[in-house]
Structure 1
Amino acid sequence: MKEKKRFVCQQCGAIVPKWMGRCPECSSWNSIVEEAVLPEKKFTREYKRPELLDSINYSEDERILTSIEELDRVLGGGIVPGSLILIGGDPGIGKSTLMLQICGNLSQKKSVLYISGEESEKQIKLRADRLKIKSGNLYIMAENNMNLIEMAIKELRPSLAIIDSIQTVYYPELSSGPGSVSQIRESTVKSLSISKETDTAIFIVGHVTKEGSLAGPKLLEHMVDTVLYFEGERYHSYRLLRSVKNRFGSTNEIGIFEMKDSGLVEVSSPSKYLLSGKLPDTAGSAVVCILEGTRPLLVEVQALVSRSGFNLARRQTSGIDYNRAALLIAVLEKKLGYMLSQEDIYINVAGGIKVEEPGADLAVVAAIASSFKNRPISEDTVIIGEVGLAGEVRAVSYVEKRIQEAYKLGFSRAIVPYENTVDISKSIKMRIEGVKNIKEAVEASIT
């Protein structure tokens, strides 16, 4: 019988009738690879009678705590037994280090299996010794054959298993190489089946492409229970763990770690760190309190406005969406009459934090105005608010929680949207100034 072939995009998983240089679905170049089509498998499983919801007993106490509070918060209160968790990040960001630290903590009380397709047992032992991890009930396996991995998990029945990484695991029955769409899909499906069958929580580690998405089809994220992203600059010591999908908790939480010689260490006061290098009385610097999930974070927004030497002025942002920054610059030009068309403008969020919420708009506007006028913003001031196209300052959520965080770090004055002033209790000992538009905000912030 002639072997059937098909052409599959290694980026999005699209199937096309013939080889093409460019994928018609995701527009990526040279990503289409020829793969053999396997005959459909007939799954025969024992029939399981449906159960009434009220007859199923489950308690939140069954969650497995990792003793790493930042991770437990991101997961929604710990690891759910039988769940499949995908953690992705750039190479060298610290994924394997975090996984080994989790294994070290849990192995003191529970059975844990660490499977590596990238390192040998001796290499893992060397890294564990450097991290000063006590073995306990920690089993190590250097294997990338999915059939053998399945046998090991079913034999040991550990509470937690780590597969590092999913791109190195392969099925011998498939003709395509490890890391291909077919291999990743089949390996993930099998991992999901094993986790539900054995009630073993499984972490699978995934690499991230240059575009910032997990290597392999997007289908991979839909199959797992939780998707975590490990973010941060390789040359900065701080790392952010962010949840983008979680069936058992909120997707708004983040965890902050610092990479040290002894491994990843939790950061207890991230706001203090993010403001640690701030220079006093510097034009173009504004402090804002953003919300990452339920956690308020104080970050420094920096702006540099300088005369352009070219006909087309330059705009560059780091940590702030470029289009959002362009919109705020346009509002400043229109509503305050600032001549910024011939000025190069650079905007940066210190500490490598990415700010996505609109509550930082007013701080960006104030930082640009401060740099343009070369007049600093008062050191004791925190600025919070969303800016509309008409130059109005709109209300933000949880303003009192943000102000309390600023007060803890020694700030005595807050510029907030006027609509939010009614939500702030009189017990707060900070000076609150409500503003209705960016003109009032700039006049109040620049000394």
Structure 2
Amino acid sequence: MFDSLLIANRGEIARRVNRTARELGIRTIAVYSEADADLPHVTEASEAVLLGPADPASSYLNTEAILAAAKNTGAQAIHPGYGFLSEKPGFARDVTEAGIAWIGPSPEAIDAMGDKVNARNLMSANDVPVAPGGGDPVTDATAALAVAESIGFPVMVKAAAGGGGMGMAIAEDAKALEEQAEKIHGFATRLFGSGDLLIERYFPRVRHIEVQILGLPDGRVLALGERECSVQRRHQKLVEETPSPALTDATRARLLEASSRAGEAVNYVGAGTVEYLFDVDSGEFFFLEMNTRLQVEHPITEAVLGIDLVEAQLRVAAGEELGFSDPKPSGHAIELRVNAEDPKRFLPGPGTIDTWVEPTGEGVRVDAGYQAGHTVPRFYDSLMAKVIVHGADRAQAIERAKRAVDGFTITGPKSNLAFHAELLDNPEFNSGDYDTGIVGRMR
């Protein structure tokens, strides 16, 4: 096992990685921006290195500063968390070329899955179901229309290099497609450096379901169960649960098998996630993308399987035995993302935290990046904490989630706790029969 680990991230995920690493006896090195100097992820690490000003380009995206910090502190490995540099193949290459262990898949796997068109074609070639659509990227409305006419409207227009729910739009007809293709092409060029577009069939009623995979050095890829991620705003997740209420045992088995094939197709090593659209009307699932990193919602998989995915990442990277081979799920788990945002319109609401009281009780876990007195800055994602609950079944998990929301007090910045309370009382959510449009119907 490594004796030292630099955590190239901030907030709750940096704290979460630090916790497991310290339990394994690893010296941890935090990095931070000037805006984050007093956050727990900085003070709880064995040592910490200032990267630069608050602007991400000057701090958490500053590869030269991060590599210098690793070199100066003698870090044997780097864990990127999620977001920031976690899915940048160039950074992964820089890390390994510097003689430092990269806690993640190979740069080649990251690169292969970073382009939606390439990923789609590779999955199709390995018998992973994909939605009807174009096998080649398009860059203008004329080419997009040709694909749309071959598969039928409505269609989804996606930035081929996009991710995280960004760079996506629905087109119901040719006129809308022309407008959206131009809009997404310009957006993607500015944000991702590539204006390539992917055109796929749009399914009106879908659920968003993903599978946790863990690739082993011997080439095997374990599929560690699914997570339901259909409670979203602007294509970005707010609530996740496992197991999914939508899946039959037969569909779940096919989904897990497809996910193992997906990982094997890119020689995946370490923790990752294969995401799918599940068509409510047909009961079929279609590959969406592969996230070549640890997901925000990984704790609910840990809760039902009784494993530590960060420990698994570290052991795989170090060439050690996992300590488990085929863990079986028990009970039901739900994760609520607590964001500094308006609970109605979901607009960011950063500020200084006056009161911070976390919920406690059986089956409740809180992964938080902040405490009272800290400031949630405007420079980064609005996530403040995650509430994870585990119960014997879905009904108990929902009841524990309700009590946890009631017991979580935050004053100062805005928070979406009121939204979570509303959702947990929503008949559609409670029935388990919902789709990605549930938040829109609540608003």
TM above 0.5, one fold? Answer: no
What is the TM-score normalised by the length of structure 1?
0.25
TM-score, length basis structure 2: 0.26
Which structure carries more relative contact order (alpha carbon 8 Å, separation 6+)?
A: 2
Q: Which has the larger radius of gyration?
A: 1
